[in-house]
Amino acid sequence: MRAAFGDEDENGVGLRVIDNNEASHGIHVGFNGQITYHEQDGYPDDADKRTSEGNEHVNQARRYAKYYVFAQRGYDTVEHIENPAYIDAVRRGINGLSEAAFERYFGALYRQLRSHQDDTDRPRELPSGVRKPDAVVYEPEVYLGVEVVGEDVADRAQSLAAAHGLDLDEDIEVHPVSELSDDTLDRWKAFGDDLGDIVAREDLDTDFTITGVSGLHVGYPNLRGQHEVDEADSPFTHEADARFSLLPYAPDSFEEFPAYLDHHLRCQVRDCFLKMGVVPPEEFQVLGFGKFRDARRYDHFEMYPEVHKREGDHTPLLG
């Protein structure tokens, strides 16, 4: 895949993408990530007249265009849960958690997964529409925040929080948004916005950290054979930065769970690059189950290797 920028206007960015079949695509990507124009010379214009592989090549070009604009121009043109940069930031944020924080955020998820192997109590009952308990996919979402690095920053954050009527020293658990008043949510948002302004204005050193995890969203095949998701509460109303897609299994020991999630998110980053028609960076050239919908994609299209399966030959990541 190759791309070159054309004109940028008040609505977005134009670019030329050459796909892996050497077909040329002229694409305009809006600043909100919407594809507002797309012409190409390699496939029928009518999607119904293309082969399924032809449609996938067209979609690869669109995904690549959106990511290229994000990576090169910095516009937020890719949904975070489909953006390898955000997914990897979540992965690194999880790796930076203390043992206590990791257990607080992901202990319930581990127990839910283990309940499919042993008699561990299940934190969430499965939806009534689930016919096969082991045919579910757990899809909780993770939210990032900015951690400011510096000796005097903590005191400034405390003062700013106090000005908004908040106390950062409270031992706060992760609450679903339904348990927080509108006033409390507004004050937390205002605090975050003001702290973000200080960070940007004074160019302070920052790092990503985990600030919230949703309840246990459960995906399962419904009576029509479609993937349905029964959603739980989420701690925030803004866009999540990653969404797990976990089969009902977890390692025997909770101490192994951080590495298990790390590998899963590496697989998701791999999936993001593959479905753009791009070989992933070496760190993410791994085998294993990443995104559920991408595993289906690999089963359907011969143009993709079966990287979601651990057994078998190590086929090239792109043929």
Query: Is the C-alpha dihedral spanning 179, 184, 186, 189 positive or negative?
Result: negative
pLDDT mean over 43-50: 94
**More reliable by pLDDT, 225 or 180:** 225
User: In the predicted model, is pLDDT for residue 49 greater than 50?
Assistant: yes
d(CA 44, CA 308) in angstroms, rounded, equals 31
**More reliable by pLDDT, 205 or 274:** 274
Tokens of 190: 């205002």
User: Percent of the chain at pLDDT above 90?
Assistant: 68
d(CA 66, CA 52) in angstroms, rounded, equals 21
116-152 in b/e form (b: 16+ CB < 10 A) is beeeeebebebeeebeeeeebbbbbbbbbbebbeeee
**Per-domain boundaries in the chain:** 2-78, 83-149+205-319
Reported confidence tier of residue 159, pLDDT bands at 50, 70, 90: confident
User: In the predicted model, is pLDDT for residue 186 greater than 90?
Assistant: no
Q: What is the pLDDT of residues 125-152, one digit of tens each?
A: 999 999 999 999 999 999 998 665 555 5
User: In the predicted model, is pLDDT for residue 166 greater than 90?
Assistant: no
> Whole-model pTM?
0.81
pLDDT of residue 319: 36
Collapsed DSSP state (helix, strand, coil) of residue 51: coil
Reported confidence tier of residue 34, pLDDT bands at 50, 70, 90: very high
Q: Sheet of 218-221: strands edge to edge?
A: 137-138, 218-221, 227-230
Q: What is the pLDDT of residues 210-267, one digit of tens each?
A: 999 999 999 999 888 889 999 999 888 889 999 999 999 999 999 999 999 999 999 9
User: In the predicted model, is pLDDT for residue 174 greater than 90?
Assistant: no
Reported confidence tier of residue 120, pLDDT bands at 50, 70, 90: very high
User: Percent of the chain at pLDDT above 70?
Assistant: 79
d(CA 213, CA 176) in angstroms, rounded, equals 9
pLDDT of residue 237: 83
* Cβ neighbours of residue 78 closer than 8 Å, sequence gap 6 or more: 33, 66, 67, 70
pLDDT mean over 160-171: 65
User: In the predicted model, is pLDDT for residue 12 greater than 50?
Assistant: yes
The DSSP call for residue 282 is G
Partners of 3 in the β-ladder: 17
User: In the predicted model, is pLDDT for residue 198 greater than 90?
Assistant: no
User: In the predicted model, is pLDDT for residue 185 greater than 80?
Assistant: no
User: In the predicted model, is pLDDT for residue 314 greater than 50?
Assistant: no
pLDDT mean over 45-56: 94
pLDDT of residue 305: 87
Residue 306, CA atoms < 13 Å, CB-side half-sphere: 8
**More reliable by pLDDT, 41 or 237:** 41
